[in-house]
């Protein structure tokens, strides 16, 4: 299984999972079967909220799942339509969240948990 984790830094499995799918600088993509990870630059980082192209963001890589702290409704829908599962991350590293997804302890994201946008001074609910 190939799992993508949005991140702002390049520290491999020790990278912190970023709270927003679309604004992450990179994705740490882990191939759980082979035990390897690669860094993929977000190819769609500069977009208007709600206009995220998540497949482009992932550089067209074949991904089975995404683990993220927050994601917009459109991105969730587009990834789901492509057969990609989206899991809600806990704060921490890629390694910590990878352990949780392997043990079946990360919940899948629902539409009710998605980010509906940001205005100056507002916080997300995720």
CATH number at residue 28: 3.30.420.130
**Structural domain includes residue 123:** no
**Structural domain includes residue 126:** no
**Structural domain includes residue 57:** yes
**Per-residue pLDDT tens over the stretch 50-101:** 556 677 788 888 999 999 988 888 888 889 999 999 999 998 999 999 999 9
**Structural domain includes residue 124:** no
Q: Domain count of the chain? A: 1
Residue located via tokens 């991140």: 7
Cα distance between residue 109 and residue 91, in whole Å = 15
3-state helix, strand, coil in the chain (%, to 5): 20, 25, 50
Cα distance between residue 71 and residue 126, in whole Å = 9
Q: For 20, phi and psi rounded to 5 degrees?
A: -135, 120
**Structural domain includes residue 119:** no
pLDDT of residue 88: 93
pLDDT of residue 58: 87
pLDDT level of residue 111 (50, 70, 90 thresholds): low
**Structural domain includes residue 107:** yes
Cα distance between residue 71 and residue 88, in whole Å = 9
Domain enclosing residue 70, as ranges: 2-113
pLDDT level of residue 123 (50, 70, 90 thresholds): very low
Mean pLDDT of the chain, nearest integer = 83
Res 124 pLDDT > 70? no
Share of the chain above pLDDT 70, in %: 79
**Structural domain includes residue 46:** yes
């Amino acid at each position: 299984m190939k799992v993508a984790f949005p991140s702002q830094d390049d520290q491999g499995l020790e990278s912190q999972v970023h709270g927003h799918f679309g604004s992450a600088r990179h994705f740490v993509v882990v191939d759980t079967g082979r035990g390897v990870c690669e860094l993929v630059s977000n190819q769609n980082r500069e977009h208007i909220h709600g206009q995220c192209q998540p497949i482009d963001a992932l550089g067209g890589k074949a991904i089975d799942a995404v683990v993220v702290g927050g994601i917009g409704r459109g991105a969730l829908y587009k990834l789901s339509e492509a057969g990609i599962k989206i899991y809600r991350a806990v704060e921490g590293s890629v390694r910590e969240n990878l352990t949780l997804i392997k043990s079946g302890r990360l919940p899948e994201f629902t539409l009710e948990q998605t980010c509906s946008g940001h205005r100056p001074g507002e916080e997300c609910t995720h």
